[in-house]
């Protein structure tokens, strides 16, 4: 079998990308040699699918998905060591014409077109990935999370070791992080979704009112530290 040249994520679960852009790209890529269409890149990465590791070994690979920062750190978590030369196209912000014009021309080494139906999951692949360029090892996420998603690593680093334990739809640990190092690729708001961190978008996250505000979350964190082992998050928070 030849190599994969284009990997298209349909974001079938969250539908976080504009559906018109996805439809146009999919129509033009489907059946093209070297193309691999998958329903959900997060799910594939969560399972550390060997086919994903094989595909990303091709440094010519073009990935059509969402924010490059989210995709790179998602692949890093899945075990992909080198992501620097991979092309990553963002259907959230780029139009179909721009994406299609930038895709590589298939060569003689390309495989046949593949359409992979993901195995049904018992959980929605919603989980955090860590941007280690921004993480300083403060471990506030580890202290905050009640669901055992994080574990301590070397040199105060934190690792995501139980992605299936994450509470679907909850980005609270990303708001607690003081350095915007936690990404939820399926989330709507920047920069938690993997968009580049700016003063404005991070300030918007840090000034949210009510139970999702960082001040409230830090109060909860302090209570958890004082009363270790008790669940203080209510359903829907």
Based on its alpha-carbon atoms, the radius of gyration of the chain, rounded to whole angstroms, reads 19
Helices (H), 40-157: 41-46, 50-56, 68-78, 96-102, 140-144
How high is the mean pLDDT of the chain? 86
Residues constituting the chain: 237
CB of 90 within 8 A of CB of 65? yes
CATH of domain 129-226: 3.30.70
Range list for CATH 3.30.70 in the chain: 129-226
- The predicted model scores a pTM of 0.85
Q: Rounded to 5 degrees, what are φ and ψ at 7?
A: -115, 120
- Residue 157, sorted as left (phi over 0), alpha (psi -120 to 50) or beta, turns out to be beta
CA-based nearest residue to 24, from 109, 97, 120: 97
Checking if the pLDDT of 232 tops 80, the result is no
67-120 pLDDT, tens per residue? 999 999 999 999 998 898 899 999 999 999 999 999 988 777 788 888 876 555
Question: pLDDT-derived band of residue 146, with 50, 70 and 90 as boundaries?
Answer: confident
Question: pLDDT-derived band of residue 234, with 50, 70 and 90 as boundaries?
Answer: very low
**CA–CA separation, 229 and 200 (whole Å):** 36
**CA–CA separation, 230 and 122 (whole Å):** 26
Distances (CA, A) of 117 to 22, 149, 165: 17, 27, 24
pLDDT, mean of residues 149-155: 89
């Amino acid at each position: 079998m030849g190599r994969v040249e284009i990997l298209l994520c349909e974001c079938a679960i969250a539908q976080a990308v504009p559906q018109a852009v996805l439809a146009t790209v999919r129509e033009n890529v489907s059946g093209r040699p070297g193309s691999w269409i998958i329903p959900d890149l997060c799910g594939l990465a969560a399972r550390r699918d060997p086919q994903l590791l094989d595909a990303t070994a091709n440094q010519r690979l073009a990935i059509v998905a969402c924010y490059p920062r989210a995709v790179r750190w998602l692949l890093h978590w899945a075990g992909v060591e080198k992501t620097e030369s991979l092309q990553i196209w963002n259907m959230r912000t780029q139009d179909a014409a721009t994406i299609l014009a930038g895709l590589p021309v298939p060569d003689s080494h390309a495989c046949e077109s593949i359409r992979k139906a993901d195995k049904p999951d018992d959980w929605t692949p919603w989980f955090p990935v860590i941007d280690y360029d921004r993480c300083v090892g403060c471990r506030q996420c580890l202290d905050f999370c009640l669901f055992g998603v994080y574990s301590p690593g070397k040199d105060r680093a934190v690792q995501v070791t139980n992605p299936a334990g994450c509470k679907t739809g909850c980005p609270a640990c990303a708001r607690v992080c003081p350095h915007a190092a936690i990404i939820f690729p399926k989330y709507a708001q920047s920069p938690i979704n993997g968009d580049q961190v700016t003063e404005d978008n991070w300030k918007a996250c840090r000034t949210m009112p009510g139970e999702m505000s960082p001040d409230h979350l830090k109060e909860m964190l302090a209570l958890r530290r004082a009363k270790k082992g008790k669940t203080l998050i209510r359903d829907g928070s």
